[in-house]
A and B are shown apart, each in its own frame.
Chain A
Amino acid sequence: MHLSIGLTTSISSRRMKWIYENADNLGLHGLWIGEDIGRPQEIFTSTALLLLNTKKVNVGIGVTSPLIRNITTIARASSTISEMAPNRFRLGLGVGGIQDLSSLGISIKKPVHSMERTVKILREIWINQGNPIKNDELKIHNYNMKYRSKQIPIFFGVRGPKLMTLAAAISDGVILSGPREFVENSIKLIKDKQKSLNISSEKFHFTLWVPTILIRKKEDIEIVKKTVAIVALDTPDNILEMSGINKREISLIRSEMKSHGIQKVAENINNQIINSLCISGDADEICDKFESYSSLGIQEVVFGPPYGKDARESMTQIAQTWSKKL
């Protein structure tokens, strides 16, 4: 099992710099960067920075939505950054949040079809066998990328069962995020699907990325509660129910959020919700919790954000504790 660090495009350039300057020395397996739509940093340019400034760690996008860019841009941006550091880049795709997409005037229609089409076209572009690519839906006419690219591992960051089974069939891995029960069910679903399709799951990669916070001070508990409140609001009911979280508690959280804001909601977050939706504790506890996912089939765990009050110290402590345990 490997340890990686996660960040998003909301990160400050200063913190991103600290991460890429220390990633190799911390002995990390990888870095995953998720796209927060509309935030200051651009996902592909940031990924380029992470790759240019590290030598050993894998760097993955986890995830970007294929609906917010022209598919040929995703193809060539991925192949460009992959060229900078061959075999270290992984592309994560996810449909994207409804609210984020609607803010850009994009409605989600047929997400399974969109994801399937995206993967098919990306791979066709990367293979670049000289045959022009056409797709009427996306109005692509006789397109060819004018340089060669390697195939890039594609990860899915998805939640619904249909998308999960699609991931089993066509992706190289998944980034799972949710309560333990959801993770367990998803792994089972994928493995069963692969079995039915006669696909070997040996090379398929399971990554776990849930909010993680190293608790060192009292203020860290505040961060935990706020983070969990936000995650709870963003998690579909069926997934919350999987972990036994009471439906009433969730609707209470949502209504409190509307009327009183995050501070009030955080006060009502109980331990059960915290333990379901986030991994927190001291460094040993967090590493033990990570390790416990190994038995489910998780091969890589991602620490952060929000990390804790002192993000740098938290990342360093977790990485050191992890390497000692190994």
Chain B
Amino acid sequence: MKFGVSFNCNDSISDSVKKSIELERLGLDYVWVSDLPSQRYAPAVCAAIAQVTSKIRIGLGLISPFLHKSQQIASSLTTLIESYGPRFDLCIGPGDRDELYKVGIDLKDHKNIVQSLLNSRKEISTLLQKRGIESRIWLGAQGPKLLRLVSSFDGVLLNYSSIEMVKWALKIIKEEDIDLPISIGIFSPSYVYKKINPKIQNMLHYASAVVALGTSKVVLKEFQLDQDLEPAIIEYRSKSLDESVLSLIPQDIIKKFSIFISQDEIPKYINELKNLGVEHVAFSYPQGFIGWNIAKTLKEKGKEVILFDIFPPRKYQDLSELTPEVKFKKGDLSSWPEVMEVVKNYNVNEIFHTGAMVSEACENNPLAAYMVNINGTFNVLEAANIFNVDKLTFISSIATCSLGQTETITNLSPQRPLSMYGVSKVCDELLGEYFGRKYGLDFRGVRFPSIIGPGRGLGGLSSYTTLMIQEPALNRSYEVFVSEDTVCPFLYYKDAIRCLIELHDAPSDLLKSRMYWIAGELLTATEISDIVKKTIPNAKIFFKPDPEKTKIVKSWAQKIDETEANKDWNWKRKFTPEQAITDFIQEIKSNPEIYN
């Protein structure tokens, strides 16, 4: 999915330039610059943006061939590409009927708008080809006649946002039996908000009203909007768009022509578009938080990720396999300057705080545990607060339970752990909640059971759950240090990652709690061994229980109630124990050189 922001040049050049620099820094793919007869001249604005950016693609358009001659459009593109390189796209479409009428161009005078557009596309392409200029040419479209032209273009940008309307458009496009790689995108007035600002909301309504009022009758009729919109259309004929016209447009129509959505809801909407085959979303004026939060929320793959760790990436965490946006910064959680520096220098917006000393190491060195787990977490919280980090998701542990908890653990169960690790995690949870209350930091977290997965370190008393699977998969024997009947709830790492991301993306107002218990599979060590042996019949798993370690593990809570997570953000495990262990073994066997 490519994301862009569309400017309609109502901003000053200097503001457009500043925004573009920021959008490029945030990793957005496109800046589109629309050319409207009452706003700044788009090709010149494109030049100003290209002057200060180097990577982001710049889309000239939507630009109307009814206002500009094909030769002039082709020449603008030539000048831009020859000067700034081949990072310009073009989007042509009829343009805003009313705005064009005001400058002397009445689209009613053009008998065949569709053919004219097609001719323009051909003329522009021919001129560009003659000059050796390469550029993708998109069609800005709404109605069925234009949609049927899509095969002559490299992509189509639909000027509506409702899923229903997009589906309809895609159906028409597919009827044309297009087998070319056409890109499908939408561009729509947008306001992605954290808290609604009525002023921007009003601006959005105006922008959407312009689109709705300019929409072809065929489209309005198809969606039975024509009658509801008619009073506004009649009023609009005799005057400019003002409050009185706006008040005649029903809210549900406004919504169909705009993306008005909270930051928390936008991933779901984008997923719906993605599932339909939409590959490109351009957020148009007014954009709310000037597009920044859109970028932060949406750049799933383009998101710049900073891994902050005291140890460099291990061999099974090869950064080259990740996107270029993933960077590693060596640093110590317990060092305030290092934590502050990484949050500040990389303009960190969101944090997954997963770093900690594991249980065994904490017992061996409580002072170090205090410095890393408690002081380190305080450092992260403090940096997040000072540098306005939007969200911090934290991993706590089953180890925060009181010892000897035999009943089912709920959010009301006491947390009076005896281990240093457990103490540190309880302290961290309370600190996070405190920063939320005191400074409004969006802190949220999960208490995980033992996590099993390839490449997990050897430390921690729950490590046997992983090693019982990993070592036989590597054709090595393994001595289990707990008794056969010991149960340690575990969660497969793929579920754990998904769990963290889903909690991170969950709308804040749905979260009734800040910390959630996550249940694990309850299998004895023998049961784990049996499943492993189904896949690896000759697996050498021996039991050599250490009474002390067994006692500690057995004292951990086992039955966990995760109903709150299920209810609040729809959390559900996907892997059964058998699926998890089989998948785990397959992963190890497919990449023995990494895990060996």
Interface residues of A (CB under 8 A from B): 9, 13, 16-17, 38-42, 44-49, 52-53, 68-70, 72-73, 76-77, 79-81, 83-84, 104, 138-147
Q: Which residues of A contact B83 (CB under 8 A)?
A: 13, 16-17, 49
Complex: A81 Cα to B103 Cα, angstroms: 20
A138 touches B104 (CB 8 A): yes
- 17 additional contacts, CB 8 Å, given A45-B43, A139-B106, A140-B102? A13-B83, A38-B71, A41-B78, A42-B75, A45-B47, A45-B76, A46-B79, A48-B44, A53-B51, A68-B69, A69-B72, A70-B67, A80-B9, A80-B40, A138-B104, A142-B102, A144-B38
CA distance A81 to B39 in the complex (A): 13
Q: CB-CB < 8 A to A143: which residues of B?
A: 37-38, 102-103
Beta-carbon nearest neighbor of B36 in chain A: A146
- How far, in angstroms, from A16 to B83 measured CA to CA in the complex? 9
Known A70-B67, A104-B69; contact A13-B79, beta-carbon cutoff 8 A: yes
* B79 in complex: contacting residue of A38, A49, A145, CB < 8 Å: A49
Most chain A CB neighbours (cut-off 10 Å) among B38, B45, B68: B38
Cβ-based interface call for B131 (8 A): yes
Contact B45 A45 (CB under 8 A): no
Known: A142-B240, A146-B38. A70 touches B44 (CB 8 A): no
Q: Is the CB of A73 within 8 A of B68?
A: yes
Pair B67/A83 contact, Cβ less than 8 Å: no
Question: Which listed residue, B10, B38, B45, touches A80 by the CB 8 Å rule?
Answer: B45
Residues of A within 8 A of B68 (CB): 69, 73
Per the bound structure, the CA–CA distance linking A16 and B82 in Å amounts to 10
Contact residue among B41, B43, B78 (Cβ-Cβ distance under 8 Å from A40): B78
- Would you call B13 an interface residue if the criterion is a C-beta within 8 Å of the partner chain's C-beta atoms? yes
- Is there a chain A Cβ closer than 8 Å to B12's Cβ? yes
Q: Find B41's partner among A68, A80, A104 (CB 8 Å cutoff).
A: A80
Q: Within 8 Å CB of A77, what residues of B? A: 41, 43-44
Query: For B76, what are the chain A residues with a Cβ–Cβ distance below 8 Å?
Result: 42, 44-45
B92 CB to nearest A CB, Å: 15
Contacting residues, chain A, for B45 (C-beta < 8 A): 80
Distance in Å: Cβ of B27 to nearest Cβ of chain A? 25
A42–B78 touching, CB < 8 Å: yes
Contact A44 B41 (CB under 8 A): yes
A141 close to B48 (CB less than 8 A): no
Number of residues on chain B facing chain A (CB within 8 A):
36
Give bound CA distance, A138 to B103, whole Å: 8
Bound-complex Cα distance A145 to B83 (A): 29
CA distance A18 to B443 in the complex (A): 55
In the bound complex, CA of A72 to CA of B38 (Å): 8
Contact indicator A81/B44 (Cβ below 8 Å): yes
**How distant is the Cα of A104 from the Cα of B68 in the complex, in angstroms?**
13
Contact partners of B10 in chain A: CB under 8 A: 146-147
Complex interface: chain B residues within 8 A of A40 (CB): 75, 78-79, 82, 131
Contact between A42 and B43 (Cβ–Cβ < 8 Å)?
yes
Q: Which residues of B contact A72 (CB under 8 A)?
A: 37-38, 103
B101 within 8 A of A: yes
User: A17 vs B103: C-alpha distance in the bound complex, in angstroms?
Assistant: 34
Complex formed: what's the CA distance from A4 to B37 in Å? 33
Binary per-residue interface labels of chain B (11-34) against chain A in the complex, 1 for a CB within 8 Å, 0 otherwise? 011000000000000000000000
In the complex, what residues of A have CB within 8 A of residue B44's CB? Answer: 44-45, 47-48, 77, 80-81, 84
| Contact between B75 and A9, CB atoms less than 8 A apart | yes
Q: Is B281 interfacial (CB 8 A cutoff)? A: no
With A and B bound together, what is the CA distance between A147 and B16 in angstroms? 14
* Chain A CB within 8 A of B105 CB: yes
B78–A52 CB distance below 8 A: no
- In the complex, B333 has a CB within 8 A of chain A: no
Name 27 interchain pairs, CB-CB below 8 A, sorted by A.
A13-B83, A40-B75, A40-B82, A41-B75, A41-B78, A42-B72, A42-B78, A45-B75, A45-B76, A47-B44, A48-B44, A49-B79, A49-B83, A72-B103, A73-B41, A73-B67, A76-B38, A76-B41, A79-B40, A80-B9, A81-B44, A83-B12, A84-B44, A84-B48, A104-B69, A140-B102, A147-B40
| B103 nearest CB neighbor, chain A only | A72
Residue of B nearest to A46 (CB): B79
Any A CB within 8 A of the CB of B158: no
In the assembled complex, B80 has its CB within 8 A of some CB on chain A: yes
Bound-state CA distance A315–B72 (Å) is 29
Least CB separation from B13: chain A residue = A83
Given A69-B72, A77-B44, A81-B41, A42:B79 Cβ within 8 A: yes
A104 to B83, CA, bound (A): 27
A45-B48 in contact given A72-B37, A141-B102, A146-B39 (Cβ < 8 Å): no
Q: B46 — which chain A residues lie within 8 A by C-beta?
A: 45
Q: A-facing mask of B86-116, CB < 8 A → 1, else 0?
A: 0000000000000001111110000000000
Interface contact B39-A141, CB-CB below 8 Å: no
- B45 to chain A: closest residue by CB: A80
CB–CB B105/A70 < 8 A: yes
**CA of A45 to CA of B50 in the docked complex: distance in angstroms?**
12
**Residues 407-429 (chain B) with a chain A CB within 8 angstroms:** none
How many angstroms from the CA of A95 to the CA of B219 in the assembled complex? 43
Report the Cα distance A81→B47, complex, angstroms. Answer: 10
7 tightest A-B CB contacts, nearest first: A13-B82, A139-B104, A42-B75, A77-B41, A48-B44, A80-B41, A42-B76
> B48 contacts A48, CB within 8 Å?
yes
